[in-house]
Amino acid sequence: MDELVMLEWHRFAKLTEARSVFARSSCVYIQTDPAGYPIRIGKASQGLEPRYRGGTGYALDAAMHGSGNLLFVAPVPVDLCGVVEDELIWQGRRALTYNNNGKILPPFRRIALAHSGTMPKLKEFESGE
């Protein structure tokens, strides 16, 4: 695990707010509970606009309405989106309620992750080693 990927996290209360900032920027995202603990991880290799275009973003905002759940987004080079998503899911496999894949076997390509910015609470995640 020689490769280090830096993740600078940004916090949002609405998917549509995150979508306007990361419209066409490749990124990974973590959906959390109101306290900031991760419950789902995803990627948007072409940005959040193509991933959650039009009314889909508003439907997610409506589903989150009043829940206090949060969204944390970090830009990632497009060629690393899947690799970073896989590593995050693996590290958080015991805490992630809504990810079904990537929790039994470790990713084929392992990377180290460093976090900065306004971060979700990753304390229940395992180290990347």
Q: Which fold has domain 4-117?
A: GIY-YIG endonuclease (3.40.1440)
pLDDT tens digits, 16-26 = 999 999 999 99
- Whether the CB-CB separation of 45 and 78 falls below 8 Å is answered with yes
pLDDT band at residue 54 using 50, 70 and 90 as cut-offs? confident
Q: In angstroms, rounded to a whole number, what is the distance separating the alpha carbons of residues 4 and 83?
A: 12
pLDDT of residue 104: 95
Task: With a cut of 70, say whether residue 1 has pLDDT above it.
Answer: no
Q: In angstroms, rounded to a whole number, what is the distance separating the alpha carbons of residues 44 and 29?
A: 8
Task: With a cut of 90, say whether residue 81 has pLDDT above it.
Answer: yes
